[in-house]
Chains A and B, each alone.
Chain A
Amino acid sequence: MVSKLEEQLQMAPYLALDSPLAISILTSALKEEVEKAGFHKVVLGLSGGIDSALSLYLAVQAFGKDNVIAVCMPYRTSSASSLTDAQKVILDTGVQSLTVDISPQIDAYFELMPEATPLRKGNKMARERMTILYDLSAHYNALVVGTSNRTELLLGYGTQFGDAASAVNPLGDLYKTQVRQLSKFIGVPSSILEKAPSADLWEDQTDEKELGFSYYDVDRFLYHLLDKRLSREQLVQQGFSDTLVEQVTKRIARNQYKRRMPIIIKISNRTVGVDFRYMRDWGL
């Protein structure tokens, strides 16, 4: 049987990567970025989904299992299968892990905010998890490894200063299709490869239901829009619907703020981020 991933890569061979070469670039760069900053360990949040699983396998290849700490941070409504899948990955890689239930602090806060929407709750949970990872980062002297892929970053489908926060992100330049390809190659358990992606903020939530299109469709679209620089007319000629073109191009622009540092109002002649320009690896 041809899997959906194989189908997508046949339809869109331009999204396929040389897996060993991609993994070698990702792991060597990840290792170098962390080690030259003076760290030897990394910590990351493990949700049971495919993105954090791939980040974990890459981190294990880069640093060895003894230098990677996986943190599971379920909320009481998190699905049981997410935790089981996270456990599978922990067992398979042999990394050190810990579980922090975020229900007490989340519930304590929202008792004061009974009118909070699911969106507010989801964002709060994502940011709670971020603060835990950064606390453990200080505790273990380990840098936080990111788990946001390129599709999510472009669509802005993530929480600013929440799941989008990290010190180094090995997935940020990989479309979801490519995350799936590399995950399969690197040996992420099949139950994780095959399930519908979900932020798991409420029951039966799936990314694709919420976004209104599938990751495979939007990845092909993003490739033609960004990598091939096609115009709107050309995109429609390629068979992408007007609605998708409209919806996605708007999303990308609207969420640019999530991809940038806060705006600084210019007063001086060397403003941080404007005309005070240095790489983060300055002197490393």
Chain B
Amino acid sequence: MRVGLAQMRPALGDIQRNYHLHLDWIKKAKQNQVELLLFPELSLTGYHLLDLTYDLGRSVHSQEIKELVTYSKDLDIVFGFVELSEDHVLYNSTLYASNGEIVHIHRKVYLPTYGMFDEGRYFGRGEVIRSFPTRFGQMGILICEDMWHPSAPFLLAQDKAQFILVPSNSPARSLDQSEIGSQSFWYANLENQAALNSLFILFCNRVGTEDGISFFGGSSIVNPYGDELVRANMLEEQLLYTDIDLDEVRRARLETPLLRDENLDLTIRELNRIRQNRLEQKRWT
């Protein structure tokens, strides 16, 4: 199976332009026989939208989304957009399309709202973390910050995911003498989670600059043993693709049966106890 990552540079707040960029990347991916193409977070809109968020929200039934989904006939595509729900809530969503149909939509759960991030001001919080079947096997989507909450990949693995797709908009910041801050944490996180849950992780991070804030790229694909298979360049647009062996999930899980041995009942029991304790705690102690 050949998977591809579109390490692209979306224009800020220009859906039309980004729509055409998507078509270009899809075309390029097809020429390279890519069967699953992952775009970065909010690939159809750009990231620092602020008040543009209100104008850019699109229903899954909107013309733009429906048309883009039709391009998933020869390869599966996964792209990000501002979703306007039927009850008028805006979500930071990623959509999986295959064979001209919507297969799944993940609404970002963990919206960073600290430091340079302001997502909680504009977006509603997703309430579901769930895997879904695809023609390649069971998959899950976690958008950027979602991946920094270990419960999120844990849930997907328990829900039988064999792949986690991680579209991201991770900025180049806190530079020191060796690297961009958070960059090595990202790779350590991806490698650990892939190995602990014996699944493939596809991390697609954007590039480009919005008001002086650059996104570092460096997209990466990690196998179920936690080995990085390929990594894209920093700060440059690139179609990164590689062939992966789906049977590696089976082999990794037989070799190290962490998932088989996971005690779900214990986890649920203890979580319920913790939750109950928190509810019962006096407010002013």
Residues of chain A whose beta carbon lies under 8 Å from any beta carbon of chain B: 13-14, 16-18, 21-22, 24-25, 28-29, 32-33, 36, 168, 276-284
Q: Is B31 an interface residue (CB 8 A)?
A: no
Smallest beta-carbon distance B263→chain A, Å: 40
Q: Which B residues from 1 to 29 make CB contacts under 8 A with A?
A: 9, 11-14
A281 engages B177 (CB within 8 Å): no
Q: How many residues of B contact A (CB 8 A)?
A: 25
Cross-chain contact of A278 among B51, B178, B212 (Cβ < 8 A): B51
Q: Say whether, besides A17-B176, A277-B51, A278-B51, A28 and B209 are in contact (CB < 8 Å).
A: yes
Query: Does B188 reach chain A (CB closer than 8 Å)?
Result: no
B13 CB contacts on chain A under 8 angstroms: 282-283
Given contacts A278-B51, A279-B48, A282-B12, contact A17 B175 (CB under 8 A): yes
Q: State whether the Cβ of B230 lies closer than 8 Å to any Cβ in chain A.
A: no
A16 proximity list for chain B (CB < 8 A): 176-177
Enumerate 8 A-B pairs (CB-CB under 8 Å) in ascending A order: A17-B177, A18-B177, A21-B179, A21-B180, A32-B9, A32-B208, A32-B209, A282-B52
Q: Which residue of B lies closest to A227 (CB)?
A: B174
Are B175 and A25 in contact, with the CB atoms below 8 A?
yes
A contact face: mostly helix, strand, loop, or mixed = mixed
Which residue in B11, B177, B211 is a CB contact (below 8 Å) of A13? B177
A36 to B209 CA separation, bound complex (whole angstroms): 10
Give the residues in chain B near A29, CB-CB below 8 Å: 209, 212, 214
Q: State the CA gap A16–B234 with chains docked (Å).
A: 20
Nearest chain B CB to A167 CB, angstrom units = 11
Q: Which of B52, B176, B180 has its CB near the most chain A CB atoms (within 10 A)?
A: B176
How close is A223's CB to chain B, nearest CB, in angstroms?
A: 11
Using CB atoms, name the residue of chain A closest to B207: A28
B172 within 8 A of A: yes
Is A279 a contact partner of B50 (Cβ separation < 8 A)? yes
B50 contacts A278, C-beta separation under 8 Å: yes
* Chain B residues numbered 165-194 whose CB sits less than 8 Å from any CB in chain A: 172, 175-180
A-chain residues with CB within 8 Å of residue B51 when the two chains form the complex: 276-278
Q: How many whole Å from B78's CB to the nearest CB in chain A?
A: 25
B214 A25 Cβ-Cβ under 8 A: yes
Bound state CA distance, A284 and B69, in angstroms? Answer: 25
A47, chain B: closest CB distance, angstroms: 23
When the two chains form their complex, are residues B11 and A18 in contact, meaning their CB atoms are under 8 A apart? no
Which residues of chain B are within 8 angstroms of A22 by Cβ–Cβ distance?
Answer: 175
4 tightest Cβ-Cβ pairs between the two chains A and B: A16-B177, A277-B50, A29-B209, A279-B211
For A279, give its contact among B12, B234, B235 (CB under 8 Å): B12
Shortest beta-carbon distance from A175 to chain B in Å: 12
Are B176 and A283 within 8 A (Cβ)? no
Task: Determine whether B210 belongs to the interface, using a CB cutoff of 8 Å to chain A.
Answer: yes
Taking Cβ atoms with an 8 Å cutoff, the residues of B that contact A are 9, 11-14, 48-52, 172, 175-180, 208-212, 214, 234-235
CA distance A13 to B176 in the complex (A): 9
- What's the Cα separation between A168 and B178 when bound, in Å? 26
Asked whether B175 lies within 8 Å of A33 as measured between CB atoms, the reply is: no
Contacts A21-B180, A32-B208 known; 16 new A-B pairs at CB < 8 A: A17-B176, A17-B177, A18-B178, A18-B179, A21-B175, A28-B235, A33-B211, A276-B51, A277-B51, A279-B49, A279-B211, A281-B211, A282-B12, A282-B13, A283-B12, A284-B11
CB distance from A88 to the nearest CB of B (A): 29
**In the complex, what residues of A have CB within 8 A of residue B208's CB?**
32
- Say how far B56's CB is from chain A's closest CB, in angstroms: 11
CA–CA, A13 and B214, complex, Å: 24
A281 x B210 contact (CB < 8 A)? yes
Q: How far is the CA of A283 from the CA of B214 in the complex (A)?
A: 16
A residues near B214, Cβ cutoff 8 Å:
25, 28-29
Chain A residue numbers with a CB within 8 Å of B52 are: 278, 282
Q: Which residues of A contact B179 (CB under 8 A)?
A: 18, 21
> Which residues on the A side are within 8 Å of B177 (C-beta)?
13, 16-18
A280/B175 contact (C-beta < 8 A), A24-B235, A25-B235 known: no
Residue of B nearest to A21 (CB): B175
Q: What's the minimum C-beta distance from A144 to chain B, rounded to whole angstroms?
A: 15
Q: A25-B235, A279-B50, A283-B13 are in contact. Are A33 and B212 (CB under 8 A)?
A: yes
B212 CB contacts on chain A under 8 angstroms:
29, 33, 168
C-alpha gap A283/B9 in the complex (Å): 13
User: Which residue in chain A gives the minimum CB-CB distance to B49?
Assistant: A279
The residue that B211 contacts in the complex, of A18, A28, A280, A283, with Cβ under 8 A, is A280
* CA distance in complex: A17, B210 (Å): 22
Q: How far is the CA of A61 from the CA of B176 in the complex (A)?
A: 21
Cα-based distance from A2 to B240 in the complex (angstroms)? 44
Q: Quick one: given A21-B180, A25-B235, A28-B235, are A283 and B209 in contact (CB under 8 Å)?
A: no
**Chain B residue at minimal CB-CB distance from A13:** B177
Alpha-carbon distance between A253 and B50 when the two chains are bound, in angstroms: 27
Chain B contacts of A282 at CB under 8 A? 12-13, 52
